[in-house]
Amino acid sequence: MLASELKVFLNSSINFKQATQIHAHILVNGLPNLESCLVRQITRSEFTCARIVSLYLQQILHHSQNPDAFTWACAVRFFSQNGQFMEAISHYVQMQRLGLHPGTFAVSSTLRACGRIMCKFGGSYVHAQVYKFGFCRCVYVQTALVDFYSKLGDMGFAQKVFDDMTEKNVVSWNSILSGYVKIGNLVDAQKVFDEMPLKDVISWNSMLTGFANSGNMDRAWCLFQQMGEKSSASWNAMISGYVNCGDIKSARNLFDVMPNRNNVSWITLIAGYSKLGEVNSAYELFDKMGEKELLSFNAMIACYSQNSLPNKALELFNQMLQPDVNIQPDEMTFASIISACTQLGNLNCGTWIESYMEKLGIELDDHLATALVDLYAKSGNIERAFELFNGLKKRDLIAYSAMIFGCGINGKIAAQNSLKSVTDTTGYRSLLANIYSSMERWDDAKRLRKAMGNKVFVKISGCSWMEQSES
């Protein structure tokens, strides 16, 4: 009687609390056969926290007395759909270790996961199993293969799989189309687009985005006008394209007539005004936004920081921390705030930022550490700057520039030491020579420039830390 009652619950959508209650009844009453039904229903239902559900699913699977292939396949798909790609791949391998034969369901979900994390070895392994298990004529598996190779940018393999397909659907065509767009091959992308027997909004958006990203806004505009149904992604692609071309007027005109604006369109336009130094126009947009989220604040704080208005950046940062707003900052927020504090030369800010990031559990990656090196070096704490500099996993030109220039400002010979572990390049040595000149150490500057003239160096192009943090 209880088993039939539980089956009724397992035939409808359930929340996490209901799932745990049903599972408790299954365990207490010795009904292990219902665990498969529970897993399947969990993977079909919607939950607010996929990570917690994922851990719970893994517990059920690993303690199940009667594992079956379809249940594990449902879990693999759940992991893949919720961005837990390593878990999806891991469970695909584990199910085979249990002697379970993966079906098309599990294979296509695993290929999707491999494509998202660029796991070439894993995807190639699954591709070999496609032949082994006889899935060569399954449109869903073949489409997943096309998508996998397209994500890797390996259009030779993607095209071969696509050409060998006996049946193609619109998803198959979109996968090969997006692959060519991704690598910037708009000639072949256009050929695929023209040959498509049926186009949907994704097809149009892929082609539109390709032309917009390449700066061919005339062609993008033609496609945009030809489109029937226009999604938010279509409008955003056009606005972003105009912004990247520096045509803020066209971007704003399109934004003003956009029927359903989302945060992406607002933030893209704010960033566009920021790049042109039109801070007032950027703030006007920010102020008009309805409910502001983290990305909105990040865009405006970055605008102030990039346009030499550090106090404004800090004011907005404090505003987002207020109880009535209560938005928790992330790495991008702190990148802009560190830059603002560097402009102010505020040493205390650096110490506070480090402790605050530690409190929030934000990892001090190389980008943030490099920004702090710049802050500490320019505000006089050379010891802490060197400590962070030496802890970098990868030291690039930006990191060396921050360290050397900071040391130069404070008249420290330590700048020389930072060059000992770097390959000779004109970028680093030219920078140090300039610092020697600014310190009126003419002999040292002359010696370094002479050494540069006697060797062939690799030229490193200039860039700013803020530019790299945006990429």
Helix, coil or strand: residue 157: helix
Threshold 0.85, pTM exceeds: no
Domain presence at residue 16:
no
Per-residue pLDDT of 421-461, as tens digits, reads 444 455 556 656 665 565 565 666 676 566 656 544 444 34
* Nearest C-alpha neighbor of 180 from the set 202, 198, 208, 154: 154
- The answer for residues whose C-beta is within 8 angstroms of residue 20's C-beta and 6 or more apart is 56
CATH of residue 456's domain is 1.25.40
C-beta separation of 114 from 126 below 8 A:
yes
Residues of the chain with pLDDT under 70: 1-12, 15-16, 23, 25-26, 28-34, 46-48, 395-445, 447-471
Cα distance between residue 331 and residue 337, in whole Å: 10
Per-residue pLDDT of 50-92, as tens digits, reads 777 788 788 888 877 778 888 889 889 989 988 899 999 999 9
Q: At what angle do helices 263-275 and 294-306 cross, to 10 degrees?
A: 0
Domain presence at residue 96:
no
Domain presence at residue 465:
yes
Domain presence at residue 9:
no
Domain presence at residue 419:
yes
**Residue 355 CB neighbours (<10 A):** 10
Domain that holds residue 378: 329-471
Task: Give the count of domains, the chain.
Answer: 1
Domain presence at residue 1:
no
* Nearest C-alpha neighbor of 113 from the set 142, 95, 91, 136: 91
Cα distance between residue 230 and residue 259, in whole Å: 10
Which pLDDT belongs to residue 112?
A: 96
Which pLDDT belongs to residue 461?
A: 40
- The answer for residues whose C-beta is within 8 angstroms of residue 442's C-beta and 6 or more apart is 436
Domain presence at residue 344:
yes
User: Which DSSP state fits 227?
Assistant: -
Two structure tokens written together for 196: 């498509």
Helix, coil or strand: residue 346: coil
Domain presence at residue 283:
no
Two structure tokens written together for 242: 């105009």
Two structure tokens written together for 116: 């998202």
